[in-house]
Structure 1
Amino acid sequence: MEHLLDMTPEVQKELIRRAQDAYSKAYVPYSHYPVGAATLWASGNIFSGCNVENASYGLTVCAERNSIFQAAAHGERKLKAIAIAVPTETFPSPCGACRQVLREFARDCRVILVNGQGQTRITDLKTLLPDSFGPEYLTEE
């Protein structure tokens, strides 16, 4: 689990700050539930994203996927960590689709959940998505 332990406190704070900043940009006219996410990649780059809702609800994109897709569009392929932040008292939790998209870019990674009081709960992808299905099942590694 070396990749889960090699994040400095400063990098973790920056990841959280970017996730919190991202939720302020969310487009949530229907749920009124803004979410921000920031992903840290093996390159050291951080990408953030917010949820973007659509009147055709199925076309809504979660903050986690928005962040990951932006990073992938910039060539990132190895995810180290994600921070997910909301302005509410309760902690966020990535939906099943987002957990599977996280798994596409990491067998495991740190997952930092942040509520509106700035409290954090740290877990990992293997805890959130045990016995997962990943790209190695479809390709030879």
Structure 2
Amino acid sequence: MELLDVARKVRDNAYVPYSRFKVGAAVRGASGAVYHGCNVENVAYPEGTCAEAGAIALMVASGETRLTEVAVIADSPQPVPPCGGCRQKLAEFGDADTLVLLATTSGKVLHTTIGELLPGRFDASHMSEVG
């Protein structure tokens, strides 16, 4: 199954009683396995979880720490990019040239990379003098 199809399917499970804005995400681990997540809202609004964060959490819980491809889908006029926090999370587990597919439910797809989404990213190389 294509990565975008997995994201589309898991989007249906999003828990969004407040915004009604469903997002689905899927990441492919270095092993080739696919992990998925959907956004989960909470009445205490900042306590929700983004779809990308959920997919990454499932990947890590399954024993992988490298991703090679990302797909995110939402019902919006234009493809929706990950929030700033999720961009940093993607950068933690993927390379700058890792493909990111951003899509709408109507079929628009934007191809980008983690590096394009988060230029000048903070990474482990910035901490080389620590400890």
Above 0.5 in TM-score? yes
Q: CA deviation at 1:78?
A: 1.0
1:79-121 Cα shifts (integer Å, max 9, x gaps): 1111001123321110000000001112321110110112211
Q: Distance in 1 between matches of 2:122 and 2:86?
A: 13
Q: Distance in 1 between matches of 2:128 and 2:42?
A: 34
1:113 partner letter: L
Aligned to 2:77: 89
1:131 partner letter: G
Aligned to 2:111: 122
- State the percentage of identical aligned residues: 39
Q: Report which of the two has the higher share of helix.
A: 1
Aligned to 2:88: 100
Q: For structure 1, which runs of at least 5 residues remain unmatched after alignment?
A: 1-12
Matched-pair contact (CA < 8 Å) for 2:7–2:72: yes
Q: Distance in 2 between matches of 1:90 and 1:121?
A: 9
Aligned to 1:54: 42
1:111 matched to 2:126: no
1:47-83 Cα shifts (integer Å, max 9, x gaps): 0000000011111000000000110111111111110
What's the TM-score, normalizing by structure 2? 0.92
Q: Distance in 2 between matches of 1:135 and 1:73?
A: 21
1:2-50 Cα shifts (integer Å, max 9, x gaps): xxxxxxxxxxx61000000011000001111000000011100100000
What's the TM-score, normalizing by structure 1? 0.86
- Comparing 76-85 and 86-95, the one that deviates more: 86-95
- Comparing 131-140 and 116-125, the one that deviates more: 131-140
Matched-pair contact (CA < 8 Å) for 2:78–2:108: no
1:72 matched to 2:60: yes
Q: Supply the RMSD in Å over aligned alpha carbons.
A: 1.4
Secondary structure, in 3 states, of the residue corresponding to 1:29? Answer: coil
Aligned to 1:136: 125
Aligned to 1:3: none
Q: CA deviation at 1:134?
A: 1.0
1:63 matched to 2:51: yes
How many corresponding residue pairs?
128
